[in-house]
Amino acid sequence: MSQSQTAVEALAGRPLTTLSEDEQMFRASVREFAEGELRPRVEQMDEQAKLDPALIKQCFDLGLMGIETPEEFGGAGATFFTAIVAVEELSRVDASVGVFVDVQNTLVNNAFMRWGNQEQKAKYLPLLATEKVGAYALSEAGSGSDAFAMQMRAVEQGDHFVLNGQKLWITNGNEAEIFVLFANANPAAGYRGITAFIVEKSFPGFAVGKKENKLGIRASSTTELILTDCQVPKENVLGEVGKGYKCSIETLNEGRIGIGAQMIGIARGALDAALAYTGERQQFGKQIRDFQGVQFQLAEMAVQLEAARLLVYNAARMKDAGIPFVKEAAMAKLYSSRAAERISSLAIELYGGYGYVKDYPVEKFWRDSKIGAIYEGTSNMQLQTIAKLLTGKDQK
């Protein structure tokens, strides 16, 4: 199948927004959980900048931490699209929990399923599906968009590697016990020395450092990691030595669809709040959504959300159908992050002064939306990817 073939064609004309009966039931169950258990905790978790441990346990108990993981390893054995639905529904209420579940599924679990050997899958995937949080450690102080400029080093010594260096901006850093971590085992080979390692929090020489005080997604922990002569067994190399660059690129391509799902969840939450408020707020003797100017703003928000959702769903369906999806994933992340920021900003304006205070939900949607243009590849990097695949030229 060509890259230009859409998932709609691959699925015999099935509309992207049409969910199967199982997908509909799953969406309903996640929404029930988000409304009943998550929403009452959102304000407190945002203020305290910390996920409620009881909520983390519930995510495991409901099977949200191993959605795509095969049943033989304790997961639900569902599709990638199903994981995207979960991230969207959680982010509609709280993007911090949305990204918590997203990183576990679209980055960590997918890295194990794609690159892990049978022993690694048998050891780690059941833990990640049932009790242990995972994190994906790629970024460093000097390697953000240029991820291959990393300074973390891995030196082979007998039956293990010794890792030294620092990672920054690691989502789930405080909660995680299993890390997919990248280090260069052969700096002379450049990016071809980069290797993926499975690092456990209990390994000597491994430490979680500073937790960042963030603008948005505050309940989601973002930390530094410090490795000082950390010994990692050779059997904990994920994939092959020197092939970590392929692992990181391919995993992040999938992860960007997850971020797109987070963004459309934020946008949906902001639009829902705006619709409710404009139906309650009265000025000049009538509801403000009876004014044409307000109606036009709500309509613009709805159009942007639907366009973003279609891009995200299309990329996810393509991934499940085995169709190349890199360009579509970049488009989905780029557009959905812009849409979430615009929609949540308009929601604040529709609330007026109330939109600017923390007593109402829309200011948080806007704060949470901003990260979408930054992590798992900035908007400029998405544009570069799209341009390269459109023109067939390397954009440098």
What single-letter amino acid sits at 330? Answer: A
Question: Maximum CA pair distance of the chain?
Answer: 79
CA distances from 336 to 31, 129, 149, 387, 393 (A): 20, 28, 28, 18, 25
Asked whether 369 and 305 are in contact (CB, 8 A), the reply is no
170 C-beta neighbours (distance < 10 Å), count: 25
Distance of alpha carbon 121 from alpha carbon 242, whole angstroms: 20
Candidate list 89, 341, 363, 376, residue with the active-site label: 376
Instruction: State whether the Cα torsion 99-103-104-109 is positive or negative.
Output: positive
Look at the chain and count its residues. Answer: 396
Instruction: Record the tokens describing residue 47, joined without a space.
Output: 């203020």
- Tell me the backbone φ, ψ of residue 102, rounded to 5 degrees: -60, -50
Asked whether 225 and 179 are in contact (CB, 8 A), the reply is yes
Asked whether 101 and 56 are in contact (CB, 8 A), the reply is no
Residue 376 annotated among the catalytic residues of the structure: yes
Q: Looking at the annotation, which residues are catalytic?
A: 376
